[in-house]
C-alpha cells in the first residue's frame, strides 16, 4: 500500500487503528454475554457473576498501570498486538471452564482467565486512544475532540452490538464453539493489522524519563474525577439494574431465557445509545474554537446537568419505588442519564489526550485509564453490596454521591498554558 502524503498517512493510521479497536470491542461485548449466559445456566448467582467481572476490572487497572510504560518503551504497535494475543489466549482457556467438577475451582479458574480479557481490553484501548494524539497536530483541539469522540462513541456502539452477537452465538451454538468463533475472528484481525501496518510508532522514551504516575496536576484531578464518574455508572449498571429487572420480569412469569434476552438486550441498547451520543458529543456541546480554556468552561454545565439528572432519578426511586410502573420509568430515566453521561465521558476522553504532551502521551493516558478501571472496579463491588443491603434505591443514591464527588474534582481543573 503506497501512501506518501502525511495527511493521508495520519488518516490511514487513525482508520486502521479504529478498525482494529472496533473488532476487539465487538469480541469483548460478545464474550461478556457468553460468559454471563453460560455461567448463569450453570447456577451462578448474580454476586458470583459480579466477582468474575470484578477481576476483569482489577486486571484492567494493572494493564493501565504498566501499558503506558510498555508503549513508551516499545511502541504502541506492540501493546496493540499484545492485547489481541492475550484476548485470543483467554478465549482458548475459557473453553475448558465447563470441565471442572467442583464449583469453587470453576469460579476461581473463570475469574482468573476472564481477568486476562480485562488486561487485553485496556492494552488495546490505551493503544487506540494514544494513537489519535500522535496523528493530530498540536493546537487542533476541535479536530482532536471530533476524532476522540468518534473513536470512543463507536467503540461503545460496537460493544453493544457485541452483546447481541454474544447472545446469538450462545443461543445457536454451544459455549465452546461460540468462543472458538470469536477467537478465529480476532486471529484474522491480527493478520490484517500485520499486513496493513498502522503507523502508530510513538517516540520511545528512555528508561530514566519514565514515571508511572502523572506529574501534571490537571491530569491527576481529571483522573480522580474519572474514577468517581465511572464508579457512579457501574454502581447501578453491573449488578443492581440487571438483578432488579430480572426479579421484576420473573414476577411477571417471564421465562428464564426470555428474561435474559430482555435484560441483556436492554443493556445492549443502552450501551449502543450511549456510544451514539458520544460520537455526536462535539456537535452537541459545540466547542467553537480550539482553545482548551473555552472547552473546560463550556463542559462544566453539562457535568452539572448529569448531577441534577442523577439526583432526580435517585429522588424518584424513593417516592415511586412501590408504583407498579416504576421499573419502566426507571429504564426510561436511565436513558436520560446515559445522554448526559456520554457527553461528559467524551469530554473527559478528549481532555486527557489534549492535556498530555506527545512525548508522554502513553504514560498520561495509561495512568488516567488506570483510574477509570479503578472506578469500575469499585463500582462493580459496590453494585453488589449496595443492592444486597438497600436494593436499587441504595445503588442509585450512592451513584449520585459519586457523581457529586466527580464534579467537585472536575470543577478544580484550571487552564494552564503550556
Burial level of 113, CB count in 10 A (0-12/13-18/19+)?
Answer: buried
Q: DSSP character for 213?
A: S
CA distance 366 to 83: 14
Closest of 118, 50, 44 to residue 385, by C-alpha: 50
Q: What is the per-residue pLDDT for 208?
A: 42
Q: What is the per-residue pLDDT for 207?
A: 44
Give per-residue burial for 360-382: e unless 16+ CB within 10 Å, then b: bbbbbbbbbbbbbbbbbbbbbbb
CA distance 341 to 270: 12
Fold match between 1-206 and 209-417? Answer: yes
CA distance 349 to 351: 6
Do residues 58 and 377 touch, judged by C-beta distance below 8 A? yes
CATH class of 1-206: mainly alpha
Domain locations in the chain as residue ranges: 1-206, 209-417
Q: Which residues contact 209 (CB under 8 A, 6 or more apart)?
A: none
Query: Which of the listed CATH numbers 3.30.420.40, 1.10.10.10, 1.20.1250.20, 3.30.870.10 matches domain 209-417?
Result: 1.20.1250.20
Closest of 50, 274, 22 to residue 165, by C-alpha: 22
The answer, as to whether pTM is greater than 0.85, is no
Q: What is the per-residue pLDDT for 329?
A: 95
Q: What is the per-residue pLDDT for 3?
A: 42
Do residues 375 and 227 touch, judged by C-beta distance below 8 A? yes
DSSP code string of 88-112: HHHHHHHTTGGG-SSHHHHHHHHHH
Q: What is the per-residue pLDDT for 379?
A: 94
Do residues 277 and 344 touch, judged by C-beta distance below 8 A? no
CA distance 411 to 302: 12
Q: Which residues contact 122 (CB under 8 A, 6 or more apart)?
A: 59, 60, 63, 64, 67, 83, 369, 373
Per-residue pLDDT of the chain (418 residues; tens, 9 = 90+): 334 455 556 667 667 777 888 889 999 999 988 988 888 778 787 677 778 888 898 888 887 777 767 776 777 778 888 899 999 999 999 999 888 877 788 888 999 999 999 999 888 877 776 666 666 666 666 677 777 777 778 888 898 999 888 888 887 888 999 999 999 999 998 888 777 765 555 554 444 444 555 567 888 899 999 999 999 999 999 889 988 998 899 899 888 778 777 887 888 899 999 989 988 888 888 765 556 677 778 889 999 999 999 999 999 999 998 888 999 999 999 999 999 999 999 888 888 777 766 555 555 566 677 788 889 999 988 998 899 889 999 999 999 999 999 999 999 987 665 4
Q: What is the per-residue pLDDT for 126?
A: 73
CA distance 38 to 55: 18
Q: DSSP character for 207?
A: G
Amino acid at each position: 500500500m503506497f501512501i506518501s502524503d502525511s495527511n493521508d498517512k495520519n488518516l490511514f493510521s487513525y482508520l486502521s487503528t479504529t478498525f482494529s479497536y472496533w473488532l476487539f470491542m465487538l469480541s469483548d461485548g460478545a464474550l461478556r454475554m457468553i460468559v454471563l449466559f453460560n455461567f448463569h445456566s450453570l447456577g451462578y448467582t448474580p454476586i458470583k457473576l459480579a466477582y468474575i467481572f470484578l477481576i476483569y476490572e482489577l486486571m484492567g487497572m494493572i494493564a493501565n498501570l504498566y501499558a503506558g510504560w510498555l508503549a513508551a518503551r516499545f511502541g504502541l504497535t506492540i501493546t496493540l498486538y499484545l492485547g489481541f494475543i492475550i484476548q485470543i489466549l483467554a478465549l482458548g482457556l475459557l473453553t475448558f471452564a465447563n470441565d471442572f467438577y467442583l464449583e469453587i475451582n470453576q469460579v476461581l479458574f473463570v475469574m482468573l482467565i476472564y481477568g486476562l480479557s480485562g488486561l487485553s481490553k485496556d492494552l488495546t484501548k490505551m493503544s487506540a486512544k494514544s494513537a489519535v494524539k500522535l496523528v493530530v497536530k498540536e493546537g487542533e483541539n476541535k479536530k482532536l475532540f471530533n476524532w476522540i469522540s468518534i473513536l470512543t462513541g463507536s467503540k461503545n456502539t460496537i460493544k453493544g452490538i457485541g452483546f447481541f452477537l454474544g447472545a446469538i452465538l450462545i443461543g445457536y451454538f454451544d459455549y465452546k464453539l461460540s468462543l472458538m468463533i470469536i477467537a478465529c475472528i480476532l486471529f484474522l484481525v491480527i493478520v490484517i493489522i500485520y499486513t496493513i501496518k498502522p503507523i502508530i510508532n510513538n517516540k520511545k522514551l528512555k528508561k530514566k524519563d519514565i514515571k508511572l504516575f502523572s506529574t501534571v496536576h490537571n491530569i491527576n484531578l481529571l483522573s480522580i474525577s474519572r474514577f468517581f464518574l465511572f464508579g457512579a455508572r457501574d454502581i447501578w449498571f453491573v449488578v443492581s439494574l440487571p438483578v432488579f429487572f430480572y426479579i421484576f420480569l420473573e414476577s411477571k412469569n417471564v421465562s428464564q431465557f426470555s428474561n435474559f434476552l430482555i435484560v441483556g438486550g436492554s443493556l445492549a441498547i443502552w450501551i449502543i445509545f450511549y456510544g451514539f451520543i458520544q460520537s455526536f458529543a462535539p456537535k452537541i456541546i459545540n466547542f467553537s474554537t480550539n482553545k482548551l480554556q473555552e472547552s473546560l468552561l463550556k463542559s462544566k454545565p453539562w457535568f452539572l446537568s448529569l448531577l441534577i439528572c442523577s439526583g432526580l432519578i435517585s429522588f424518584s426511586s424513593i417516592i415511586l419505588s412501590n408504583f407498579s410502573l416504576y421499573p419502566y420509568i426507571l429504564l426510561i430515566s436511565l436513558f436520560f442519564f446515559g445522554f448526559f453521561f456520554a457527553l461528559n465521558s467524551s469530554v473527559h476522553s478528549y481532555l486527557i489526550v489534549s492535556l498530555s504532551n506527545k512525548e508522554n502521551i502513553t504514560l498520561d493516558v495509561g495512568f488516567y485509564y488506570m483510574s477509570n478501571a479503578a472506578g469500575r472496579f469499585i463500582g462493580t463491588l459496590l453494585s453488589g453490596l449496595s443492592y444486597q443491603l438497600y436494593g436499587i434505591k441504595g445503588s442509585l443514591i450512592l451513584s449520585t454521591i459519586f457523581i457529586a464527588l466527580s464534579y467537585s474534582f472536575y470543577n478544580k481543573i484550571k487552564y494552564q498554558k503550556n
